[in-house]
Amino acid sequence: MKAEIIEQVEALKRGTVEIFSEQELAQRLSEAAGQGRPLRVKLGMDPTAPDIHLGHTVVLRKLRQFQDFGHKAVLIIGDYTARIGDPTGQNTTRPMLGGEQIEANARTYFEQAGRILDMSEDKLEIRYNSEWLAGLKLADVIRLTASMTVARMLERDTFELRYKKGDPIGVHEFLYPLMQGYDSVMIRSDVELGGTDQTFNNLVGRDLQRLDDQPPQIVITMPILVGLDGKDKMSKSKGNYIGVTDPPGQMFGKTMSIPDDLMDNYFTLLTDLPVERIAELTDPSRTHPKQAKVLLGK
């Protein structure tokens, strides 16, 4: 295997949790290089809220890294799946959003994602999954659901917990991972990125691509950025977030409140600093935590 492919794999591995699988990634990169084509790297975003925070940027930065290596980012705006709402990590069924709210949220997503991604036409393709999901007939939906068992759905932590507690699970929520997986089939993705909480959904995409006689996408999972409270996933609803549109002074102030023991995580996921430099900045015996936060805040 060419040295440039090995270097690319090593760079893309940085900050990831799991790659399904690393060997497949190297092989797909090598094949694409031989064919003179870019990989199609998918990231799905449901516009369920109007703002992007630093937690969202972890996976956006990885997507940008693929762009910088010459590959094509395919940003899926889940305007159709947002009507269901991703059940991941939810103890109750999400309320369904209206079309106008989804459209307004999607517009702000574009503007904010543009601060990180290369928005040029040859590097980015933007698709709405209503393009193909809205036209599905009942026979198509039955075919999709036939590829999945209830037992496998209940393997998801979210559903398993609710089932054991006797809390309701909407049948429509079972459709969510199938629809997200179907997105991968329709855009013929080579790679899908997502947080660790999206692993189940992304692996469903691999299964559906196999059923469609497509090469299964490589799934790369990224860590969930812990919020300013040092406990929970960064979330606007929990108030433990730093928004990408926060005023500079407010963003800096929030950065200074990051728990000291999370600084390694923040530097690794939100900067391109070398590993050695991060080790130096997050070692209290070499750098005071306040100095490290000032640097991160800048």
What is the pTM assigned to this prediction? 0.88
Q: Greater confidence, 236 or 248?
A: 248
Distance (Å, whole) CA 130 – CA 103: 12
pLDDT score recorded for residue 288: 92
Q: Greater confidence, 284 or 186?
A: 186
Task: Quickly count: other Cβ atoms within 10 Å of residue 43's Cβ.
Answer: 22
Q: How confident is the model at residue 97 (pLDDT cuts 50, 70, 90)?
A: low
Would you give the distance in Å from CA 79 to the centre of its chain? Answer: 16
Q: Which amino acid, residue 165? A: K
Structural domain boundaries of the chain? 3-227, 246-298
Per residue in 192-227, pLDDT tens? 999 998 999 999 999 999 999 999 999 999 999 999
Q: Is the pLDDT of residue 89 over 60?
A: no
Q: CATH class for domain 3-227?
A: alpha beta
pLDDT score recorded for residue 95: 58
